[in-house]
Amino acid sequence: MSLLHRLLIYRNLLEDNLVQGVQNLLKALNEFNKQDLSSLQNQYSEITASLLKFGFEKNIRNSLWKNYIDHLILQDENIFSLSCEKDTNNIDSNVKEALKRDLVVLNEFSCLDWDAIASKIGIEPLSFLSTTIEKKTINIDETILKLSDYYYKNGCGIMGKYKAFRWDKGLKGIENPDSVRLADLIGYEEQKKTLIENTEAFLQGKKANNILLFGDRGTGKSSSVKALLNEYAHRGLRLIEVPKHQLIDFNKIISLIKNRNRYFIIFMDDLSFEEFETDYKHMKAAIEGGIEKKPDNVLIYATSNRRHLIKETWSDRQNADGEVHISDSIQEKISLADRFGISITYTSPNQKEYLEIVEGLAKKHGIDIPKEELRRKALQWEMWHNGRSGRTAQQFIDYMLGQK
């Protein structure tokens, strides 16, 4: 019978559906009755099917049950893993004592004799279930050191599992974030340099600024921010995309990440506000901080097609509604962009720059056609489609690749 009820540090594992399924199977085996054989075989098969799926997704072929338990341990968010994420040299002695017992219990649970279980219920054993290492032996101190090092380098829980997130009434991990790299973005070298310098300072624990990237559509503003994740995730950078209508939740987001040993860029893409919208006031509070100071491990990067973010009409200036202190209202609207310490401008490329982008992308993707023919087709494409921009250049290259 499983001893998982004795767990203290890793009690979250008791909530896992597959772990519960195995516990139920062990309990039924303990009360073995040949009349229940088909039910036991069904339970065994469901567990096996789940482990097969796990192995396929993680590209694991052997010792599926042991590897599954190890996976749960590495992903678990608990007082031990959270403390290791910050500092591996400051583990509470009481936590360590409880941890040692947990690891003995989990080692025994992970080394179940699946061959014996299969034989007892009349099913042919499967080689990929049982562990291939020596059973029920574990070097506790060495295991603790390895776990501590893993949590410190990779994080734990959702922060260890994902590098990118979106906020949707809660933090949701993104399985496959955009793989764009800064080297993929041809041109805009000064803009990228500013982004890199600020982000480097941030990751080094130095003072850094919130950044507004604004300018023409399709010029690579969003891609520049997404590329930072792929450049710096290994150094602890994480990206959280927040839609403007959920800016009201900013304090909730901060409370989740402020004590984590990671660096977070809160990313607001295509940010702008209509004149009747008031969400920008939450934005101001988010940037400047309210009573509680914005943590040092959080920055805000936003992109927009508008320099001042908030739509301003001539009626604002003409005092159409008869407001007495109209200049105050105007200043309130245009001051939002000023809250960002750095503003970076992305303008549409001229023809020479556009063709340089096309040629660079063509070289990267192995499109081998005469230079003049490539230029002629690229200019035709931008006239017939979306105008001159980095996005248009990429769409043209995608078209050319499709013609191969």
3-state class (DSSP) for residue 227: helix
- Whether the CB-CB separation of 394 and 378 falls below 8 Å is answered with no
Whether residue 273 is predicted with pLDDT greater than 80 in this model: the reply is no
Say how many C-beta atoms besides its own lie within 10 A of residue 97's C-beta. 11
- Whether the CB-CB separation of 351 and 379 falls below 8 Å is answered with yes
pTM: 0.79
3-state class (DSSP) for residue 305: coil
Q: 212 CB contacts (<8 Å, ≥6 apart)?
A: 301, 302, 303, 304, 309, 337, 340, 342, 343, 344
- pLDDT score of 140: 92
* Alpha carbons within 13 A on the beta-carbon side of 390: 18
310: nearest Cα among 274, 271, 269: 274
Say how many C-beta atoms besides its own lie within 10 A of residue 322's C-beta. 6
Whether residue 294 is predicted with pLDDT greater than 80 in this model: the reply is no
Structure tokens at 215: 């300018």
| pLDDT-based confidence at residue 33 (cuts at 50, 70, 90) | confident
22: nearest Cα among 109, 132, 107, 103: 109
Whether residue 299 is predicted with pLDDT greater than 90 in this model: the reply is yes
Q: What value does the CA radius of gyration of the chain take, rounded to a whole number of Å?
A: 28
| pLDDT-based confidence at residue 324 (cuts at 50, 70, 90) | very low
Whether residue 314 is predicted with pLDDT greater than 90 in this model: the reply is no
Q: Kind of pairing, strands 263-268 and 298-304?
A: parallel
**C-alpha dihedral sign at 70, 72, 74, 76:** negative
| 70-103 confidence digits (pLDDT tens) | 999 999 999 999 999 988 788 889 999 999 999 9
| 216-236 confidence digits (pLDDT tens) | 888 889 999 999 999 999 999
Whether residue 256 is predicted with pLDDT greater than 70 in this model: the reply is yes
pLDDT: is 194 or 354 the higher one?
194
Mean pLDDT of the chain: 85
Whether residue 23 is predicted with pLDDT greater than 60 in this model: the reply is yes
Whole-number Å distance between alpha carbons of 283 and 144: 43
| 367-399 confidence digits (pLDDT tens) | 888 889 999 998 889 888 878 888 888 888 888
